[in-house]
């Protein structure tokens, strides 16, 4: 049985006497509209982690309602997600707690919940046995000294970052030796917490530097 047909008849008058009837039969177009339920979106962030310094990790956000979603994290960055759960990469240089501050989709602005604490692990000399590292005095207001001792002669480099990852001090690799030393002038650096990465060969250790 043929359904959804539409009949159109066109009349033509021929020689003012004879009438020609032409009938066309065609299928009437069918349009289906899908109705989306008006579900307010939600975004939930969970999962505390511990990572090494200068390491990237992922945050997982669970989203409800209809894709796509737009959401913001507490670090100010905005993302667009087309699936749930959705992962974003972060690389904090200090222990940071992230949360979702806003979520939106076609249904409007939704609700947010949860958080994820990313804890940075600072290696100690005991954990990195092949390197003997000293940073002193600490805390300090003017200068601090650093020292690296290795079992075998190698080059060493030092970099100090603030919590935003901006380099405040650096020393390029120098001559190969078993003992490396240096001094950091802190007088022109703002008070706060910094991270000193000391690398000898392929081994590295991170220490906190506190300027008061």
Q: Is 76 left (phi over 0), alpha (psi -120 to 50) or beta?
A: left
Residue 30's pLDDT is 59
From first to last of the 212 residues of the chain, give the pLDDT tens digit.
Answer: 444 544 444 444 443 344 444 444 555 555 565 666 889 999 999 888 888 777 889 999 999 999 999 999 999 999 999 999 999 999 887 788 999 999 999 999 999 999 999 987 765 544 456 788 899 998 899 999 999 998 889 999 999 988 777 889 998 887 889 999 999 999 999 998 898 988 888 888 888 898 99
Going from the N-terminus, what domains does the chain have, and what CATH number goes with each?
42-121 (2.60.40.10), 132-211 (2.60.40.2550)
Which pTM does this prediction carry?
0.52
Write out pLDDT tens, residues 143-191: 999 999 988 899 999 999 887 778 899 988 878 899 999 999 999 999 9
**Per-residue model confidence (pLDDT) at position 126:** 44
d(Cα 209, Cα 167) in Å, to the nearest integer?
13
For position 5, what pLDDT does the model report? 47
Look at strands 167-171 and 192-200 and give their pairing: unpaired
The predicted structure's pLDDT at residue 164: 75
Instruction: Report DSSP letters for the chain, one per residue.
Output: ---SEEEEEEEEEETTTEEEEEEEEEEPP----PPPP----EEEEE--EEEETT--EEEEEEE-SSSPEEEEETTS-EEEESSSSEEEEE--SS-EEE-EEEEEETTEE-EEEE-EEEEEEPPPTTTSTT-EEEEESSSBSSEEEEEEEEEEEE-EEEEEE-TT--EEEEE-----EEEEEEEEE-TTS-SEEEEEEEEETTEEEEEEEEE-
């Amino acid at each position: 049985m043929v359904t959804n047909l539409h009949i159109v008849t066109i009349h033509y008058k021929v020689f003012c006497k004879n009438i020609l009837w032409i009938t066309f039969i065609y299928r009437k177009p069918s349009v289906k509209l899908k109705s989306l339920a008006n579900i307010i979106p939600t975004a939930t962030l969970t999962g505390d982690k511990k990572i090494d310094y200068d390491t990237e990790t992922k945050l997982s956000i669970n989203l409800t309602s209809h894709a796509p979603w737009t959401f913001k994290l507490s670090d100010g960055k905005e993302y667009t997600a087309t699936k749930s759960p959705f992962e974003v990469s972060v690389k904090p240089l200090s222990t940071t707690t992230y949360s979702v501050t806003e979520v939106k989709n076609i249904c409007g602005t939704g609700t947010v919940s949860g958080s994820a604490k990313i804890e940075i692990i600072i290696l100690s000399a005991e954990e990195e046995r092949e390197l003997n590292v000293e940073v002193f005095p600490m805390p300090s207001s003017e200068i601090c000294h650093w020292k690296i001792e290795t079992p075998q002669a190698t080059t060493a480099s030092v970099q100090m970052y603030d919590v935003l990852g901006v380099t405040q001090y650096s020393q390029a690799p120098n001559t190969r030796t078993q003992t490396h030393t240096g001094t950091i002038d802190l007088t022109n650096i703002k008070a706060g917490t910094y991270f000193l990465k000391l690398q000898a060969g392929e081994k590295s250790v991170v220490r906190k530097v506190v300027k008061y």
